[in-house]
C-alpha cells in the first residue's frame, strides 16, 4: 500500500472538497438487485472474420434515469471475443458513432500497425480491418479505444470488451470453463453521473491530480449485481477497466482466492491469497472454492490511493454477490498450470 505524505493528504482533502463531498453510492436493497450481465461470446465466422460495431446507445444505471452510452455490438460495453492460439482472424471494426475512435487490443502480441494506436483513426462510417495472427498462450486480454484526446471519455461511455485466448494446454487442465456458469467475467469500473443521468467525465485539475474516480461502482455495467453460479470451483476473470481506480479485492467471508493467471496468461502453479491488489488495466483469473454452496461477495477494501484515503471512499464496498446454488460444476483446481521459461 502507498505511503501518503502530509502534502498528499492535504491535496486529497482539497480534491474531495472540489468534488463537492459526493456521497458514495451504497448497495441497493436485496430485492432490487440486478442480475450480473454476462457478455456474449463472439467467435470468428467461417471466413475467419469477427465483426465489431462501435455504436451509440442508452442504458439505465440509476433508477428511472436513462444514460446515453457507447457500446460494441450493443448499447454498453462489448462482447467477449474468443479466439484460439494459432488462429488467423480479421477484426472488422466499424465506427457508427459521430466521432473518431480507434480500437486497441490490450495484451495481444501483434504488430504495432494492427494495434489500434492513436494514429490508427477510424472515422465515422469507416471500418478498420486488422488481421491478427494469434501466437501467444491462453490469456484474458481486453480491447478499448486509444483515440487522443478522448480515450478516457470513450471508455467511460462504454467502449471496452474482453478478448479471450484459449489453447490446448489450458483446455487440458480441467479448469472451470462453462461461460457464465462457473467461468464468470467481472469487468470492474467506477463512474460518476450528472443530474440528468449522463456520465460525468470532465477532466479538470482535480482529475489530473487524482485520476478519474467515480462514486458509483459497476460490474459488467450493473451496480452491485448478483450472479447464480455452479456449486463447485468458480473461475473469476477479473478486469480492472477503470480509468485510475485501484482495487484491493477480497471475499466477504474471508475464504481464499487462488490466482491461476495474470496479464500474460497462466502461472506455473496456483497462488493462494486472501487479498488481491489490481491496478487500472490489469487482469487476473482466480479460482474460488464454492463447493459449500454458501453465497459470498467480492469486496474492494480501502487503498492508499490519493483521494481514496479519506471519507467517503475509505470504506469497504461490496461489488457483486455470487450465489453458488446451481448444478455441481465440473472444474477443478490443478496443482500445476503452465510450464514457464526460467
For 70-91, the pLDDT digits (tens) are: 999 999 999 999 999 999 999 9
Minimal CA–CA distance to 155: which of 70, 224, 280? 70
User: Cα(173)–Cα(185) distance, rounded to whole angstroms?
Assistant: 19
Q: What is the mean pLDDT of residues 56-76?
A: 96
Band (pLDDT 50/70/90 cuts) for residue 21 is very low
Which is it for the CA torsion 266, 267, 273, 276, positive or negative?
negative
Is 283:262 a contact under the CB 8 Å cutoff? yes
Is 159:72 a contact under the CB 8 Å cutoff? yes
Q: What is the mean pLDDT of residues 335-339?
A: 96
pLDDT at residue 309, rounded to an integer? 67
**Averaged pLDDT score across all residues of the chain:** 89
Q: What is the mean pLDDT of residues 48-62?
A: 97
User: Cα(196)–Cα(332) distance, rounded to whole angstroms?
Assistant: 47
Q: What is the mean pLDDT of residues 299-315?
A: 75
Helix (H) or strand (E) run with residue 56 in it: strand 49-62
Name the segment(s) of the chain with CATH classification 2.60.40.420. Answer: 6-32+175-323, 41-167
User: Cα(262)–Cα(337) distance, rounded to whole angstroms?
Assistant: 12
pLDDT at residue 117, rounded to an integer? 87
Superfamily the domain 41-167 falls into:
Cupredoxins -  blue copper proteins (2.60.40.420)
Classify residue 109 by its DSSP letter: -
> And the C-alpha cell for 144?
478499448
Band (pLDDT 50/70/90 cuts) for residue 303 is confident
Question: Over the stretch 97-151, which tens digit does the pLDDT of each residue have?
Answer: 999 999 999 999 999 999 988 889 999 999 999 999 999 999 999 999 999 999 9
Considering the four listed CATH numbers 3.90.1150.10, 3.90.420.10, 2.60.40.420, 2.60.120.380, the one that applies to the domain covering 6-32+175-323 is 2.60.40.420
Amino acid at each position: 500500500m502507498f505511503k501518503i505524505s502530509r502534502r498528499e493528504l492535504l491535496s486529497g482533502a482539497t480534491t474531495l472538497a472540489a468534488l463537492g463531498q459526493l456521497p458514495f453510492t451504497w448497495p441497493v436493497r436485496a430485492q432490487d438487485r440486478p442480475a450480473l450481465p454476462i457478455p456474449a461470446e463472439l467467435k470468428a465466422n467461417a471466413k475467419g472474420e469477427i465483426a465489431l460495431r462501435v455504436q451509440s446507445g442508452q442504458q439505465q444505471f440509476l433508477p428511472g434515469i436513462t444514460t446515453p452510452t457507447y457500446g460494441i455490438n450493443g448499447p454498453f460495453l462489448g462482447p467477449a471475443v474468443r479466439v484460439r492460439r494459432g488462429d488467423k482472424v480479421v477484426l472488422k471494426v466499424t465506427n457508427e458513432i459521430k466521432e473518431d475512435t480507434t480500437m486497441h487490443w490490450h495484451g495481444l502480441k501483434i504488430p504495432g500497425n494492427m494495434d489500434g494506436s492513436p494514429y490508427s483513426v477510424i472515422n465515422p462510417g469507416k471500418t478498420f480491418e486488422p488481421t491478427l495472427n494469434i501466437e501467444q498462450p491462453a490469456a484474458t486480454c481486453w480491447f478499448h479505444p486509444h483515440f487522443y484526446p478522448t480515450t478516457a471519455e470513450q471508455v467511460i461511455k462504454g467502449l471496452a470488451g474482453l478478448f479471450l485466448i484459449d489453447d490446448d494446454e489450458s483446455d487440458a487442465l480441467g479448469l472451470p470453463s462453462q461461460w457464465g456458469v462457473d467461468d464468470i467475467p467481472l469487468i470492474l469500473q467506477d463512474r460518476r453521473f450528472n443530474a440528468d443521468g449522463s456520465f460525468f467525465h470532465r477532466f479538470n485539475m482535480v482529475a489530473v491530480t487524482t485520476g478519474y474516480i467515480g462514486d458509483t461502482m459497476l460490474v459488467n455495467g450493473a451496480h452491485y449485481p448478483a450472479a447464480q453460479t455452479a456449486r463447485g470451483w468458480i473461475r473469476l476473470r477479473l478486469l480492472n477497466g477503470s480509468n485510475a481506480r485501484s482495487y484491493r479485492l477480497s471475499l466477504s467471508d474471508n475464504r481464499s482466492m487462488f490466482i491461476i493467471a495474470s496479464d500474460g496468461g497462466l502461472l506455473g502453479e496456483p497462488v493462494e491469497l486472501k487479498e488481491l491488489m489490481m491496478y487500472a488495466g490489469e487482469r487476473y483469473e482466480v479460482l474460488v472454492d464454492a463447493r459449500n454452496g454458501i453465497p459470498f461477495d467480492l469486496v474492494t477494501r480501502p487503498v492508499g490511493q490519493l483521494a481514496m484515503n479519506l471519507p467517503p471512499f475509505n470504506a469497504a464496498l461490496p461489488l457483486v454477490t455470487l450465489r453458488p446454488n446451481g448444478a455441481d460444476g465440473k472444474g477443478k483446481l490443478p496443482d500445476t498450470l503452465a510450464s514457464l521459461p526460467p
